[in-house]
Amino acid sequence: MLTKSNWDWEPGSREIADMGQWQNQFNWVEEPCVSPDGEKLAAIVNLAEGEFNVCVNTNTWESVFDKIWNLRFMPDGRLTALVSEMGEWTVAVDGSAWENKFGYVWNPAFSPDGKNIAVAVQQDMAYCMAVNDASWEQTFSNMTNPTLSPDGTTTAAAVQVVNFGEGEIHKFQEGAFTVAVDGETWDTRFVNVWKLAMNSDGRQVAAEVRLNLYDYTIAVNGKPWERTFGCVWEPVFHPQNGTVIAPVRSGGKWFMAQDGQTIWDREFVQLWCPIYSPNGSRLAAIVAPKYGNWTVAVDGKPWSARFGDLVTDVVFSADSNHIAAVAKDSGKWMVVVDGIVWKNTFDMAWQPVFSPGGGEVAVKIERNGKYSMAVNDRLWDQQCDAIWDPVFSSDGDKILLRTLQEGIYTRRVISVEEILR
């Protein structure tokens, strides 16, 4: 398996594929995707009515399918898609389909090393999850929020375990939902179960749950927190010590809670999308101190910069010392790093990418219908028809850019210094 350190980091550019030729070769070409190392461009292509394939650089897969969707490269560089053969759906990896076929498959997820592929599946109106072509033994009449653990070893989902008709409100209120972990259900039942989270090795599972018509809380391995709230958002595990935090609503305001107890000394109009730093020493979240007034709070302290539209895509640097986000105000997108707003504004900006040392921040951006990149508020001098998220080299002094211009897909490696000077 290629790792970032042994990718080709020689400065310069290489033309990998000409999508213009694909347009002449196939009936139509769908939106392309690129491999993590930038060496491959792939897209779903139509050969004839009901005949689809995947083109990778200049070659197509050997197999032809009725339909293909959700084409994605895995972390290890293999190419996956959800495919239909004779009306049945499954997963294909580099053109080879799983042996098992289903009525439908969706929500593919991958382990960090790319060895495990998990999908949600439906067969004869029964639902479960499958990993590497092996399905749960137990199936359910309803399943939502399929989840793969951070290490890619454990799957979980919210499932319905009691069937009830439209008029059987009492069964619903008594609790008909729970969590299944690798197909095994919790003993506790809830009125509703929503978003799930798992700790790093998948041994602990937390979920948003509704105990009755009015009370909400977080349940961990089936055991609810002792306190209940007017509403809760998705739980998050501490990356080291296994505690669980979640935004909770009480008295019309939002608070940050850990294992059922509030931990930040202030309230917010809204609080969501919490994220821990990689070492677990810092906790950030998107907050609204006032209505229509958005920012980021780090360890409970809001940035002074405020935005009227939204804040999203919060990310910590690998060393946990820096944090960045994108924000929108008065229709313009901007990048915010450690609470400082970049001077440049954009028609669109995507999640920031930190260099390994945390000193540089690169962002994919859009202006006037063209795409480019910015590093530390300095704009790259090229504009493209499409560009993918920038990737820093392991030493942080180079950036891999994967670009599409006039149908030509080009792999570029440029020095960070070239942009910043």
CATH at residue 129: 2.130.10.150
pLDDT tens-place string over residues 336-380? 999 999 999 999 999 999 999 999 999 999 999 999 999 999 999
| Cα-to-chain-centroid distance, residue 360 | 23
Helices (H) and strands (E) in the chain, counts: 3, 44
Average pLDDT over residues 275-287: 97
Asked whether residue 222 is domain-assigned, the answer is: no
Asked whether residue 4 is domain-assigned, the answer is: yes
For the cut 90, the answer to whether the pLDDT of residue 2 exceeds it is no
Integer angstrom CA distances of residue 209 from 60, 233, 257: 46, 10, 15
For the four alpha carbons of 394, 396, 397 and 401, in that order, the dihedral sign comes to: positive
pLDDT the model gives residue 167: 83
Integer angstrom CA distances of residue 135 from 10, 114, 333: 43, 18, 43
Average pLDDT over residues 328-335: 97
pLDDT tens-place string over residues 69-81? 999 999 999 999 9
Beta bridge partners of residue 190, listed in sequence order: 177
- The set of residues, in sequence order, having a beta carbon less than 8 Å from that of 310 and lying 6+ positions away, is 294, 327, 328
Note whether 157 and 115 are within 8 A (CB): no
pLDDT the model gives residue 377: 98
Asked whether residue 45 is domain-assigned, the answer is: yes
pLDDT the model gives residue 1: 52
Q: How many CB atoms lie within 10 A of CB 234?
A: 18
For the cut 80, the answer to whether the pLDDT of residue 136 exceeds it is yes
Asked whether residue 172 is domain-assigned, the answer is: no
Question: Residue 21 belongs to what domain range?
Answer: 1-136
Asked whether residue 70 is domain-assigned, the answer is: yes
Q: Residue 222 in 3-state DSSP?
A: coil
Average pLDDT, the chain: 96
Asked whether residue 170 is domain-assigned, the answer is: no
Asked whether residue 1 is domain-assigned, the answer is: yes
Parallel, antiparallel, or unpaired for β 223-224 and 216-220? antiparallel
Cα gap 56→32, rounded to integer Å: 10
Residue 346's identity, in one-letter code, is: F
Number of domains in the chain: 2
> Of 136, 171, 194, which residue sits at a domain end?
136
> Of 87, 115, 136, which residue sits at a domain end?
136
> Of 111, 136, 161, which residue sits at a domain end?
136
Asked whether residue 375 is domain-assigned, the answer is: yes
pLDDT band at 381 (very low <50, low <70, confident <90, very high): very high
pLDDT the model gives residue 325: 98
Note whether 368 and 378 are within 8 A (CB): no
